[in-house]
Every structure is written in structure tokens, then in C-alpha cells.
Structure 1
């Protein structure tokens, strides 16, 4: 697969949407609005990757498929950081409550077991199928296969976008899970001796801030001090550079627990904040270019903006039209199948393109997007019900403490 050319420039730049339901999250944090955001992000990911495909192949990659830069900025706005923020927010809530208010936490083995059964079965199957079709004769590219199956391809400049391009982000998801089960209990233990609730909130917030600043320092040093080009993918795509999105989501979880019911936004203020965030995201995409700082720090900045958008949705006094739109049944259903859509859409798009089933040329981009969605969405529906949902039932094999559940047969009647 040829080298990417778009802003994050990989053939699949979508972050892996965190498969639901989140561990330990209360009913309010599992609001259908979050599922709606996930559905929008999943659709945006497909649209972006078709755009990226045509950017690379149309006319030798000399121009994007949409000449109008203002339209192109909206199409090419990446949502990878929104996925990271939502994942970290939902999964950190339990630890934030435990650290700040003394709530319980699940054993790490239970958390990791349930995360694994949500992600690994579908991922392994897809990687094996796609790798086998692209390596019909043995030995094939065995390094690529091994690195994908061990979630280490994000550290390999040559293999990072092979097989299924977007799954580099799943490498970061898995590393975040390991970091969370290590740092979460440490935060809980550090906060227990503290008597003042405000002090516990401050300690947790300071930890999230440090986790956010670390990647900023790394990016600044890599780019400005050592002159590492942005095409050195592991330098700018690895956890040391991209953990800021997770840190921002963790900070949102701490903020929500710290505030509780206080400070809920009025309807007018919430709408104003949403409008400001959406305009800022658009301008960030429009003005970002390889020669400026907006490009260099695009993802940390986008992460903060996504946090504000989620905050203006979750922490409000009254729900309104914004929430009803996000709770639309079709949209939340896309959110439900978003992980399968994330996994399969790029292989489907590439196969359609190679088979000549997508229109060529700049004018063919809109129709190509419609065709990819028409094929990828039904495939994702089938994948969810045939693979994802049955594998998720394995989570019932263990209770909240990690002990095997005992299943008793129904008594004879």
C-alpha cells in the first residue's frame, strides 16, 4: 500500500471506536447521545477514507477529489480523537468515582477480559481474512501478520498501515487499557488518604494534565528540536504522541465526577459552546497545513475541542433538539455497529476500487462514497450480529469480581 498523503496521511486513519458497552459506566454516561456521536464519527470515517483514497489515486494524487477547499476541509476533518476521547471518558469514570468518592472498581483481569472479548475476536478474524487474501502464496508477509496480531504494527514504519490500515489506532486502544488498569488503581490509592474532596479532584486532574502535556512535549521536541518529518509514522502515531486524546477523555471523566450535579449548562450556553467548538474544528481543518503549528499539534487541539463538545452535550440542565437528533434510531444503530464498520470499510473500499466498481476521476468521489457506504454498512450489520454480539456474550462467563458464573438449568416443570 502506498504511502499516505492526507493530513494524518494513512490509508485508514479512523480511530477504532471503542466497542460498547463501557466498563463500569452508569446509565447516565451510556446515554444514547454518546452512541449517536459514535455513529456520526463512524460515518465520517468512511467518508474521510474514500476522500483519502481518491486523494491518493485520482490524477496521480496531484489534487484532492474536491477542488473547493472549504468543502474539502469539512470532508477531511478527522474524528480519530473523538473516538479516543469517548473511549477514555467512558472507561475512566469508574476509576474517577473510586478515587474521588470512594466507589468500587472492578479487578483489572475482569476489565481486560471484557475489553478483549469485545475487540479481539472480530479483529483477529478480519486480519487473518484480509492478510490471507493479499498474501495468497506462502510465506507471504509474515512480519506484517505477526505485528498486527500482537498490536505492535504501530511501531513499524513499513507495516503500520498494512492489512487493515485503520487498526493502528486499535494498538493505541489496547495500550490505553493496559495504562488505565495500571494508573487507575494508583490514583485511587493516592487519593484515599486525602480528606478534602476538592484535593482529590485536583490530584486526579493534575495526573490527567501530565498525561496530556507529555505528548505535547514529545511532538514539539520531535518536530522543532530534531526535525523529524511528519512521515515518520511511529514517531507521530505511537502512544507517546497520541496519548493526549485519551488523557483529554480521562480529564473529562474527572471533571464530570468532580462537578456532579453542579454547574449544568443552560440551553443557550450549551448551544453557544457547541457552535464555537464546531466552528473551531472546521477552522482547524481548513487552516492546518504541513508548514504551520496547527498541523503539528492538530490532534491535541482537536482532542480538547471534542471534550468541550461532549461536555456541552452531557452536562446540561435540559435536553433538547441536539439530544433528540443524536438519539435518532438510525444514528444510534450506526453507533452500535460502528466497530464492525470501522474494521471492514477499508478492505471493502479497496476491493471495490481494485475491481473497477468505483467510478474514477474527481467527479466520481460522491458516487464512490455512496457505493462504499451501501456495501460497508450491511456488511457491518452482519458482522455485528454474527461475530461481535455472540462473542460479547462471553462476558457473562464471569461476574463483577472476576469469578466464573454458575449457570443452573431451569427446573423441570
Structure 2
């Protein structure tokens, strides 16, 4: 998952401030991931085959929501600079701020899991270094106990690394067409196709024990979905694709209802098993594409609709939601070590236990620890972000987002 960019400073932080409802969405996505893991370890989803168990298991859809958010928030400064005629964000400063934002807390979590979880006694230095460098998904040793969810952070970091190059390439494709960047939009559509194709080939011809299905190319479509929303959010409002997505984005209920339908489909056997069995190549691709559609539809009305209007958007951008959103990265990091430790220390057999009390304890403890980490680590380290200065032109502040004429009459209650 991606950590909030508010502490990064620079262009990425401006995107967060311009779309405040995304903070609330971030904690909802993190909570969905916690629920899916609690449902699995308690046996609520992993030992049942009903639709309810399937619905709990597929709350892992919080991961594609985070990937779409990363694509949108981190890529958007690049096309925005092109439209304004500003210099592109400085690559060194961008990478330094991202590293400063995610690594210190992550490293503490990894070290804590190795030191305090009984399952990790005897962890060798090589495996520890792989995890500290976020390259464990490129080996065949498997994750350190309690850190299974960190595969998605490895994929996020890979996206961070390639984004400046990808953004530069898309910028060249649409040179002179910044207001209507149809070549870049077509290229992102190609990525949305290439991702599932890569996943299909990996599932069809697995390469030893390397988890290639967890590598960045498998999820290219998820990031591309967020990047496409970013392009459309800064493009000419008179351009036909922009008019279409903005018309759809004004109807939050319609977007989220469509996402719910896709989620229901994902909970059927079409997307494969959700227990220990491996999905077929077709099932893997089906789930991947459905998750991409769900995540894009969930994010769309929060960035291309009435960004500041309606009850749902106001709730997601309220003070409580924003504070929880700021610590959601820590919640994602610590909930699995806490869950593993809870079961190990109390000697509870895996695939047993009451799901609701376990969720309440783990989620509450995760929020509390994440808040402490935010205050003690994440906020203080931001003072070092100036060590790598941004040599590009200082971007103008992101303007407040206002609905276009006629938008106010569309959705009065949501």
C-alpha cells in the first residue's frame, strides 16, 4: 500500500490536499485488508465455502484500491506540470521523499517481527536483508513470519522506481497535446491489457518457486487505472473522455453500485478459489481485471466528481477520517505481526478463534501503535526531506477543486 504523501512535501503532498476524501478511503481500504486477514486466520473465510466467507476473503480488494491511489496521486504532478508549462517534479527529490516516508517505519516493523515473533527465531541475515531492502518477492525463501502482506509494498516500491521513467515516456508521447493527451491514455490502456497478460503467462508457465505473480507487471493495470484518472483530472474539460468520466464521477452511488456488482462477481467461482488452492490462469486474470474495475470505480467519484460535495465525501474528508487516514500506513504494517503474535503468545490454533473480538483487538491495537509510530517516527523524519532539494521550479499550489457549471444539481444526498 502507499503511505500518505502529506509528509513528503512537494507536488505529491499537493495532490493529497486537493482530494481530502482520499484519506478516509485509505483507512477504509486498510481496514478491509485487516478484516480479510482476520477472517482467514480465524477460519471464517479459509474453512468455509459460502458466499459470506468469500465476501470476507475478497476484502483483499483494499490492495488494488491502494495501487490505484498510488497511480493517481504520485503520477498526477507530472501531467499537471505539463499542462501548466512547469518543470516536471525532480526525480531525486521525489524518490528521497518516498523512501523517507515509507522505510523508517517499515524497517522498525520488520525488526520487531524478527525479534518478538516466536516463528522467526533463527531468521538468517540474508533473509532479513532481503526484507529490509524490499526485494523478498524476487527470491524463493518466502516471507518472514507476520510479514506476508509486505509483498504489496515490494510492488509499490517497484512502481515508485519506474514512475519517473514511465511519466517521462508518456509525456513525450503526448508532447504538444498536454490538454488532450490521447496517446498517453492509449498507452495506459495498453498497460491495462499487458498486466493481465503477464499474469496469465506466469500462471500458465510458473518459473520455479519465484512468486512472479506478485511482481509489478502483474498489477500494471491497477496502477495504470489510477494514472489514467490522473491524466483525465488535469485534461481539458471539453475533451470527450473527460466529459464522460466527469459525468460518471458526479454519481457516487452509481459508481459504487457498479463496483459492488463487480465485487459480487469476484466472490463467485469465476475468480477462482479463496482458500489454499491455486487459481487457474484464467481465474487469476478474471480476479485481477475485476479488482481493477472495482478499485477504479471506487476512486473515480472522489477525484473526478464533486470532490468536496455530498455526505459520503464530507465524511471521508472529516477530521476523524483524515487522522485515521494519516496512520493507515502504520495500520497496514503492524496488523499482521500483531495478528501472528496474538495467536502465538496465547497459543491459539490457527484457523480458529472468534472473528469479531479478534478483529476489534487487532484493529484497535494497530491503530494505537500506528498513531505512536506516526508521532514518534513518521512526522519527525520529515525534517530530513530537504537533504535532497528539489531543483525543479517550485510548483504553484494546487487550486481548490470546484464543480463545473451544472454539476451541483446532480447528487444532493451522497
| Unmatched tracts of structure 1, length 5 or more | 1-15, 404-413
Residue 29 of structure 1 and its aligned partner are, at CA, apart by 6.1
Residue 362 of structure 1 and its aligned partner are, at CA, apart by 5.0
Which of 315, 318, 334 matches 1:325? Answer: 315
* Deviates most, 209-218 or 347-356: 209-218
1:20 counterpart residue number: 5
- Mapped contact 1:359–1:368 kept (Cα < 8 A): no
Asked if 1:182 is matched to 2:165, the reply is yes
2:218 counterpart residue number: 241
Distance 1:159 1:223, change over 3 A: closer
CA deviations on 1:169-191 (whole Å, 9 max, x unpaired) are: 11111111111111222333443
Distance 1:401 1:334, change over 3 A: same
Q: Distance in 2 between matches of 1:115 and 1:214?
A: 26
Residue 70 of structure 1 and its aligned partner are, at CA, apart by 2.8
- Mapped contact 1:32–1:327 kept (Cα < 8 A): yes
- Mapped contact 2:196–2:288 kept (Cα < 8 A): no
1:297 counterpart residue number: 286
Q: Distance in 2 between matches of 1:208 and 1:385?
A: 38
Q: Distance in 2 between matches of 1:402 and 1:42?
A: 34
Asked if 1:309 is matched to 2:294, the reply is no
Asked if 1:213 is matched to 2:196, the reply is no
Residue 233 of structure 1 and its aligned partner are, at CA, apart by 6.1
- Normalised by the length of structure 1, the TM-score is 0.81
CA deviations on 1:289-331 (whole Å, 9 max, x unpaired) are: 2467444331232123211221122222471112122123322
Residue 270 of structure 1 and its aligned partner are, at CA, apart by 3.3
Residue 376 of structure 1 and its aligned partner are, at CA, apart by 1.6
Residue 385 of structure 1 and its aligned partner are, at CA, apart by 0.6
Distance 1:397 1:158, change over 3 A: closer
1:204 counterpart residue number: 184
Which of 364, 380, 389 matches 1:390? Answer: 380
Which of 15, 18, 38 matches 1:50? Answer: 38
Q: Distance in 1 between matches of 2:189 and 2:82?
A: 16
Q: Distance in 2 between matches of 1:245 and 1:108?
A: 22
Which of 59, 71, 74 matches 1:88? Answer: 71
2:263 counterpart residue number: 281
- Mapped contact 1:277–1:305 kept (Cα < 8 A): yes
1:411 counterpart residue number: none
Q: Distance in 1 between matches of 2:177 and 2:117?
A: 59
- Mapped contact 1:124–1:149 kept (Cα < 8 A): yes
Distance 1:127 1:207, change over 3 A: same
Distance 1:374 1:197, change over 3 A: closer
Distance 1:196 1:343, change over 3 A: closer
CA deviations on 1:335-365 (whole Å, 9 max, x unpaired) are: 1101111111111111111111869875611
1:269 counterpart residue number: 251
| Unmatched tracts of structure 2, length 5 or more | 274-278, 394-414
What is the total number of aligned residue pairs between the two structures?
A: 376
* Deviates most, 214-223 or 143-152: 214-223
2:338 counterpart residue number: 348
1:63 counterpart residue number: 47
- Mapped contact 1:81–1:245 kept (Cα < 8 A): yes
Q: CA RMSD in A?
A: 3.1
Asked if 1:144 is matched to 2:127, the reply is yes
1:9 counterpart residue number: none
Moved over 6 A (4+): 135-139, 357-361
- Mapped contact 2:255–2:300 kept (Cα < 8 A): no
Q: Distance in 2 between matches of 1:329 and 1:71?
A: 33
Asked if 1:373 is matched to 2:376, the reply is no
Q: Distance in 1 between matches of 2:161 and 2:90?
A: 13
